[in-house]
Amino acid sequence: MDVATLCLAVLAHGPASGYEIKKELEDGAYSHFFRASFGSIYPALARLAQEGFVTGREQEQAKRPDKKVYRLTPAGKRELSRRLQAPIGPDYIRSEFLLVLFHAELLPARHRRALIEERIRQLQACIAEMTGGGEAACNRYEGSGPAFVHGYGLAIYKAELDYLDSQRRFFDLPGANAA
């Protein structure tokens, strides 16, 4: 599944510029399970426009740089549906955190502790953000799909936090605090 398909998917929720798609991938819901950089998003959008799956409309903005807003065409929506039904590949996971801790013996105990504590902080922040009623997290997404995926991610983050909490003694960390 390439970046073009990802762009179609994001655009299915409404028109957006390349910059806005990138922001969605960095800060929004998609950030938990996909990624892409400017260097792949912009070329993908250009190609999709050429193929007729999106239309790009130059939009002059007062007090901002112009932006090119892309919009899904009917053909693009059909194409997205088609691509989503293609066979999917396995999850791609690349965790430097786990790679480093796999070699915990080569690290000073102090460094192990710091890694774990930082991870716990990140997980707590992430869970809080996903649980909290969502001032910041604009709940643009409605329907069962986003809700299902949201629950899926939350379940994983909570499991990670629980596990780290259960391993506190192992890393000589101070006692558990409430999640």
Q: Are 161 and 120 spatial neighbours (Cβ–Cβ below 8 Å)?
A: yes
- Shortest Å, Cβ 61 to a copy of itself: 29
Q: Is 65 helix (H, G, I), strand (E, B) or coil?
A: coil
From a copy of itself, DNA, none, which one binds at residue 114 (CB under 5 to 8 Å depending on kind)?
A: none
Nearer to a copy of itself, 31 or 59 (CB): 31
Q: Of 36, 72, 80, 123, which lies in the binding site for DNA, with binding defined by CB under 7 A? A: 36
The count of other CB atoms within 10 Å of the CB of residue 157 is 18
CA atoms within 13 A on the CB side of 86: 11
**Is residue 2 within the footprint of DNA (CB under 7 A)?**
yes
From DNA, a copy of itself, none, which one binds at residue 107 (CB under 5 to 8 Å depending on kind)?
A: a copy of itself
d(CA 19, CA 161): 33
Q: Of 125, 128, 155, 176, which lies in the binding site for a copy of itself, with binding defined by CB under 8 A? A: 155
CA atoms within 13 A on the CB side of 104: 13
CA atoms within 13 A on the CB side of 108: 3
**Residue 46 DSSP class:** H
**Is residue 80 within the footprint of DNA (CB under 7 A)?**
no
Site for a copy of itself in 105-134 (CB under 8 A): 105-108, 111, 115
> Which distant-in-sequence residues (6+ apart) come within 8 Å of 153 by Cβ?
32, 33, 130
Q: Of 3, 7, 29, 80, which lies in the binding site for DNA, with binding defined by CB under 7 A? A: 3
- Shortest Å, Cβ 170 to a copy of itself: 7
Interface with DNA (CB under 7 A): 2-4, 17-20, 22-23, 35-40, 42-44, 46, 61, 63-69, 89
